[in-house]
Amino acid sequence: MSAGEATGVRPGFELDAVTLRDWMAGRIDLSDAPLAISQFSGGQSNPTYRVQSGDRIFVLRRKPPGPLLKGAHDVLREARVMGALGDAGFPVPRILGVCEEPDVAGTAFYVMEHVEGRIVWDPATDLQAPSDRRAVFDAMNATLARLHSLDVEAIGLGDYGKHGGFVARQTALWTRQYQADEEAGRNTDMDRLVDWLATRDGLSDETSVIHGDFRIDNLILHPDQSEVAAVIDWELSTLGHPLADFAYHLMMYRLPVHLGGLAGRDLTAIGIPSEADYVEAYRLRTGRDALPDLDVFVAFNMFRFAAIIHGIRGRVIRGNAVSPKARKRADEFPELARLAWAQAQRAGA
């Protein structure tokens, strides 16, 4: 597993190598060498570390130090879903140990295997051959379809979240967040979306395990083959509507390049399947006759995305988020809201 490059441990995030080694030695076969610990540059929400013992490498993921909101940064929940999925044969890093007490690392954590492979941020540039892009997209599609086809009760995750009503609950949540942040301001496109989504009560209602942030940079690809070696970053996973999860993933086709999407690129030339072909592959793999209301699910996801950026915009205005990246995101909010409303119109708003 990888979450960017592993560098020195950031101040305030240090681990006691001796205490950690003693804990790991009781659960994992270690060499006699002391642990070498570095921190991945990603994993900002839940700090993630590279831990090496001799020639064996592990990954440790922990709650951040300091006061936390109730239910936030639940790494034990991540460990649970990954353990259950791994037992079901789904490609995730193998969980090797879980610690609920703060005595070892200061906060709860888990240790998993390190999966060797490739992390792709932009498939158009990070994958060199059109044939590799085509095969990677097919593997990505197959992996998400496989996740959504798992029986939640059979794999022991029937209580991992609420059954049914996912889109309605999420719409209500992000509507409250958007409307409560007065300093970030209101937006006509967002207001239209709020009203329109509130009337989408005729959607199909299904429940599966959903990843919540399934995109190519949350996959580890096999080092030499166009296969998914592991799916990582399960922090947003829950029980939800599989088509909402797929539509979030599908946003890559409808967002422009400067917002991290593929819209405007010559997909045929670079070997990436068209959106229509990608949707059809998912439909066939999940055994569906059709994918009803897919445009509604895309509009919902773009609304949620815009609402998150609206929150960042509010923090920038209040001076609580001053990084250039946050400011850039805040400036993108009006365009995201416009694109989200365009998806609603495409769905028949």
Handedness of CA 285, 291, 295, 298 (dihedral sign): negative
Is the confidence at residue 348, as pLDDT, over 90? no
Q: Residue 46's pLDDT is what?
A: 83
Is the confidence at residue 321, as pLDDT, over 90? no
User: Residue 13 to residues 39, 71, 247, 301: CA-CA distances in angstroms?
Assistant: 9, 21, 36, 33
1: confidence class by pLDDT, cuts 50, 70, 90: very low
Look at the block and give the residue holding tokens 């990608």.
278
User: What does the pLDDT average to over 158-168?
Assistant: 96
| Number of neighbours of residue 82 by Cβ within 10 angstroms | 23
Is the confidence at residue 42, as pLDDT, over 80? no
| Rounded-to-integer distance, Cα 96 and Cα 53, Å | 14
Q: Residue 103's pLDDT is what?
A: 93
| Rounded-to-integer distance, Cα 52 and Cα 17, Å | 11
User: What proportion of the chain, given as a percentage, has pLDDT over 70?
Assistant: 95
pLDDT in tens, 51-107: 999 999 999 999 887 654 445 558 999 999 999 999 999 999 999 999 999 999 999
Report the mean per-residue pLDDT for the chain: 92
Q: Rounded to the nearest 5°, which phi and psi values hold at 149?
A: -95, -5
| Rounded-to-integer distance, Cα 273 and Cα 275, Å | 7
Q: What is the homologous superfamily of the domain 6-113 according to CATH?
A: Phosphorylase Kinase; domain 1 (3.30.200.20)
| Rounded-to-integer distance, Cα 289 and Cα 136, Å | 25
Q: Could you tell me which residue, 322 or 323, shows the higher pLDDT? A: 323
| Rounded-to-integer distance, Cα 17 and Cα 194, Å | 50
| Rounded-to-integer distance, Cα 213 and Cα 245, Å | 8
Is the confidence at residue 331, as pLDDT, over 80? yes
**pTM given for the model:** 0.92
Q: Where in the chain is the domain with CATH 3.90.1200.10?
A: 123-346
Contacts for 305-308: CB closer than 8 Å, 24+ residues apart:
305/251, 305/336, 305/340, 306/190, 306/193, 306/333, 306/336, 306/337, 306/339, 306/340, 307/174, 307/175, 307/177, 307/178, 307/190, 308/174
Q: Where in the chain is the domain with CATH 3.30.200.20?
A: 6-113
Query: CATH for 123-346?
Result: 3.90.1200.10
Q: Residue 109's pLDDT is what?
A: 96
Q: Rounded to the nearest 5°, which phi and psi values hold at 239?
A: -90, 135
